[in-house]
Amino acid sequence: MRIKRAFEWLFRYIDVLVALTLAVVILGLDVIGVASSKVVANATVATLAVVAIVLLRDRQRGDERGAAVLTSVERANERLARLERAAVVREVTGDECSEALAQARKGAARWFFKGSTGTYVRAVTLPECVERSRRARRSLTFRLEILDPADEGLCNRFVALHQRLATSPDSAERFWTMDGTRRELYATVLAACWHQQRYELLDIDVRLSSTFSLLRYELTESCLIITQRGPEFPATIIDCGTPTYDCWESELHVSLQQARRLPLHRVRDMPLSEEPTTEEIRALFRALDLDLPAEYDEDDVIELGRMSLATPNPYE
């Protein structure tokens, strides 16, 4: 191994050794007076030529090493950039969560929501996205996956779970009821139909799920925001263009396809006033194959109409 390394070293620096040997020989001949001055001069020129060749080769090697280093640095930067993109997952709370949702709504042409009742979406997200799209005259794709209001057992289990998870005796969840949850869901469906009729470029789809989750997912072109019960709980933001974002986008698409689709196309041209009447509301839900509970009287239906269009921001 040592002999091999010695030969490699010798081969690498052969030009330097030749120049050094010539210089030593010329110096020796000149000192002992064996060679004439002309021979010494010629040999000196030859030595200088070898030295020049050595310098040129050393410069070339330096350039090659510099290029190799530059290429390595560029590759390292590319790998670092990929790692940074793959790791763009942030956690926010409080006002930061509300601000993240507000930023996502700006310019959004696509919105996917998967959650429970969709109260915040109905009160804030859908109206604002529709209004921004209307001003810009651009299309808006909206997908909603919420709980099935016709499934009383599902609504009961949803309420019971959150009541067991309540953090204090006076938490809002303590006062939730199955019927209250069901009304929120009916109101969200009605709001989707109302906005569909009033903005031609709105492509909205509502799906009813038979399962519930503790998390809510809001997917746009720019990011995915995963929230829990209000801004006081931590929220996770995953920027687009990352493997994590792509994975969740696929997961939410599969979830949507498994939920029951409401035939919103049937009600696009049905009468629906600025303040929907009880007759219009009942007819709309019948057309959707989602009849309102038989025990709902006139006041209950009026309340649904109010909730669908006049629900305040639940987190203000």
**What does residue 228 show for φ and ψ, rounded to 5 degrees?**
-120, -130
Give the range with max mean pLDDT: 41-50, 63-72, 74-83, 181-190.
Answer: 181-190
**What does residue 140 show for φ and ψ, rounded to 5 degrees?**
-135, 125
Q: Can you give the pLDDT at residue 171?
A: 83
- Give the model confidence (pLDDT) of 86-109 as tens digits: 557 888 888 888 899 999 999 899
From the list 261, 153, 155, the residue with the least C-alpha distance to 208 is 261
Model confidence at 305, pLDDT cuts 50, 70, 90, reads: very high
Give the range with max mean pLDDT: 10-14, 28-32, 290-294.
Answer: 290-294
Q: pTM of whole model > 0.85?
A: no
Least confident of 21-25, 107-111, 167-171, 190-194: 21-25
Does pLDDT of 245 surpass 60?
A: yes
Q: Can you give the pLDDT at residue 166?
A: 84
Q: Can you give the pLDDT at residue 9?
A: 56
Integer-rounded Cα Rg, in Å, for the chain is: 37
Per DSSP, what are the bridge partners of residue 227? Answer: 216
Q: Can you give the pLDDT at residue 85?
A: 53
Region 255-279: mean pLDDT is 95
Task: State how beta strands 140-147 and 202-209 pair.
Answer: parallel
Does pLDDT of 181 surpass 60?
A: yes
Model confidence at 62, pLDDT cuts 50, 70, 90, reads: low
Q: Can you give the pLDDT at residue 19?
A: 60
Alpha helix locations (H) across 199-233? Answer: none
Q: How far is CA 25 from the centre of its chain?
A: 73
Does pLDDT of 129 surpass 70?
A: yes
Q: Can you give the pLDDT at residue 63?
A: 57
110-114 sheet: strands from edge to edge: 89-92, 235-239, 223-227, 216-219, 110-114, 140-147, 202-209, 260-261
122 vs 118: CA distance, rounded Å? 6
Does pLDDT of 242 surpass 80?
A: yes
Alpha helix locations (H) across 138-177? Answer: 152-164
Token pair belonging to 53: 């060749």
Dihedral (CA of 177, 178, 183, 184) sign:
positive
Region 292-299: mean pLDDT is 96
Q: Can you give the pLDDT at residue 107?
A: 86
Place of tokens 């794709």: 141
Q: What value does the mean pLDDT of the chain take? A: 84
Does pLDDT of 155 surpass 60?
A: yes
**What does residue 240 show for φ and ψ, rounded to 5 degrees?**
-70, 165
94 φψ region: left (φ > 0), alpha (ψ -120 to 50), beta (else): left
Model confidence at 246, pLDDT cuts 50, 70, 90, reads: very high
Percentage of the chain modeled with pLDDT above 70 = 72
Q: Can you give the pLDDT at residue 172?
A: 84
From the list 274, 127, 130, the residue with the least C-alpha distance to 202 is 130
